[in-house]
Amino acid sequence: MDTKHKNYGKKISDRFVKQLVDSAISSAGSFNHPDGLKTIFSLLDLTTLNTTDTEKKIRSLCENINQCPSRFPEIPNVAAICVYPSLVSCVRDVLAVPHVRIASVAGGFPSSQTFLKIKLAEIELAIENGAEEIDVVISVGKFLESNVPAVEKELKEIRRVVQKYPLKIILETGALSSHENIYRASMLAMQSGADFIKTSTGKFQPAATIEAVGVMCTAISDYFSATGKRVGIKPSGGISSSSEALPFLAIVVNTLGSEWITPSLFRFGASRLANHLLSDIESLRTGKKIEIAFF
């Protein structure tokens, strides 16, 4: 594969995607045990991106994350907390546990319909305030009108401003309408400097689907074969239960291998999922139905 080819074309058949999905669904149950669910918990970008978010809410969320090692000593903590740029400094001031990173959506989230200068300024401000990871949305409108050079130029400018920090590029797969578009957008994002490719903002339906993640994993595998560079994957949007999360874990293992099952290469963007995982881990451990509302 010539990764410099700007069309990034590849035929992705419905049959091929169905095979990926069927295999993931059939093998998902093999991860439905406490260790499998603990792994998913450790891959969480615990996310709150609501219009009603307040500093009080973010402080409470961070304080709960701080308590995780003492409350749940057998469970690795979440990978990151993800908030709007204006709330990054609140996370920076309250978060007190090691290895949990501060992530922020920036650059005109969620629509990406603003000026590039504003996107870059928002990213710079998020980093100045303490963000250690940046999630941005591609210019979906430009992509859909086949203005690939403009999208690529913008993403490379964003990559330059993000500098050393992990960059997660959101494809908004529910708006892309075809497997081929999802594959092309994945390759474009990776060629432009993505450290992760991410399904969706959670503000557009459909959000994360197992089919889209299968196509994205295929693109990551092809890109790795061509370049030797491992790029991460982040399903995000609408994954709220353990049973919904397990097939995503399975499709990443099946397509990319167990090497990808680490926070440096795999994240789940979610909020409600955290409590469900904690409840299900304890229920599997004790054999009793237990509800935990920690976050």
Active-site amino acid positions: 135, 198, 234
Other beta carbons within 10 Å of 261: 18
Amino acid, res. 74: E
- CA dist., res. 104 & res. 86, Å (int): 9
Residue among 21, 25, 31 at smallest CA distance from 280: 31
Q: In sequence order, what are the beta bridge partners of 233?
A: 197, 266
SS3 of 185-238: the string is HHHHHHHCCCCEEECCCCCCCCCCCHHHHHHHHHHHHHHHHHHCCCCEEECECC
CB 179 within 8 A of CB 4: no
H-assigned helices in the chain: 14-27, 34-42, 55-71, 88-94, 116-128, 140-144, 148-162, 179-191, 210-227, 242-256, 273-286
Distances (CA, A) of 59 to 79, 96, 210, 257: 17, 11, 33, 37
Tell me the chain's radius of gyration from C-alpha atoms: 18
- Residue 248 tokens read as 């995503």
Amino acid, res. 172: E
